[in-house]
Amino acid sequence: MEIKILGTGCPKCKTLEKATQNMVSELGIEATVSKEEDIMKIMEYGIMRTPGLVVDGKVVLSGRVPSSSELKKFLTV
């Protein structure tokens, strides 16, 4: 699984990155978690508000930090 956190480094982006890494560890998922901070590349995903969460090339969330249960759902579908 490939997971990308889209964000320029704001507090919400950092929170999402940490929560995602924690959830991947908790669930024992084999995944690569990376962060995209280049605004031009973030815009290519079509999101207008950060943070964004991309799982295997698909934007699953943007503009907010999800709850733990929501994040778990995104990573186990």
Catalytic residue set? 10, 13
Cβ–Cβ < 8 Å for 7, 50:
yes
* DSSP sequence for 12-63: HHHHHHHHHHHHHHHHT---EEEEE--HHHHHHTT-SSS-EEEETTEEEEES
